[in-house]
Amino acid sequence: MDLYYAPMACSFACHLLIRESSLPVNLIPVALLRKQLDTGADYFSVAPKGQVPVLRFDDGRLLTENSAVLQALARHAALEGYGGYLPNPGTVEHDELLEWLSFIGTEIHKLCLYPLFQRDAPDAVKEWSQGLLAGRLQTVADRVAHRPFLVGDRFSVADAYLAWALMLCEQSGVGFQGAKGLDAYWAQTKARPAFGECLALEGRLYKTLA
């Protein structure tokens, strides 16, 4: 399997899950602004949406959309003996996992962070999306204020997606917009060895590719 990813982009969540689970996946960096691979190939020729993440299975099938890719990676990790990143369908935890993936994907990622970091977004749009971010971050903070994980009792794909969003807020200087209750959760997420490895690798790559 191949994962197309871009440094510090939302594909960080997939990269993190791959390192957490030791799933053997080739990581293929994309220069997202130029829509180019390091071979010089046009990224649109691989991925018509021009976005990351994209997962390519060994039979050539492509899967896009972070929530779908994260769940597919977690299912493959379980088949390889590294389960637990995705609760079983039909359980309360699975319902809650879908709820949080959707909240992070739509409310935090696309509503707030995407416009905030789009170079061509008008300043008024950036201000508006930053204004909304505080409330969205407070919603996740309320959830994790007294628990180590978003869902159930172990790190899941929802925590991987949230880890990316919080990492971007912190690294960019946007911060947590006054959201209260994230400190313990964020400290233990950042302390995960796989998180540190992803951040170091993507931080280096960002300087050359972005």
Ligand X SMILES: N[C@@H](CCC(=O)N[C@@H](CS)C(=O)NCC(=O)O)C(=O)O
Q: Where along the sequence are the contacts to ligand X (CB under 6 A)?
A: 9-10, 32, 50-52, 65-66, 105, 114
Measured CA to CA, the distance from residue 116 to residue 123 in angstroms comes to 9
Q: Which residues contact 34 (CB under 8 A, 6 or more apart)?
A: none
CB nearer ligand X, residue 146 or residue 207: 207
Specify the residue for token string 């993507």. Answer: 202
Structural tokens at position 192? 């995960």
Closer CB to ligand X, 145 or 201, in the complex: 201
Nearest CB to ligand X, comparing residues 34 and 204: 34
Residue nearest to ligand X (CB): 51
Residues 1, 26 contacting (CB under 8 angstroms): yes
Instruction: Provide the minimum distance between the beta carbon of 81 and ligand X in the complex, in angstroms, as a whole number.
Output: 27
Residue 122 CB, nearest approach to ligand X (Å): 17
DSSP-assigned states of every residue in 2-21: EEEE-TTSTTHHHHHHHHHH
Q: Closer to ligand X at the Cβ: 48 or 178? A: 48
Task: Give the shortest CB-55-to-ligand X separation in angstroms.
Answer: 10
Decide whether 35 or 190 has the Cβ nearer to ligand X.
Answer: 35
CB of 52 to ligand X, least distance (A): 5
199-205 own/partner pairs: CB under 8 Å, 24+ apart: 199/167, 199/171, 201/15, 202/7, 202/8, 202/12, 202/15, 203/7, 203/8, 203/171, 205/7, 205/29
Q: 170: which 2 tokens?
A: 């912190």
What minimum distance in Å lies between the beta carbon of 133 and ligand X?
Answer: 15
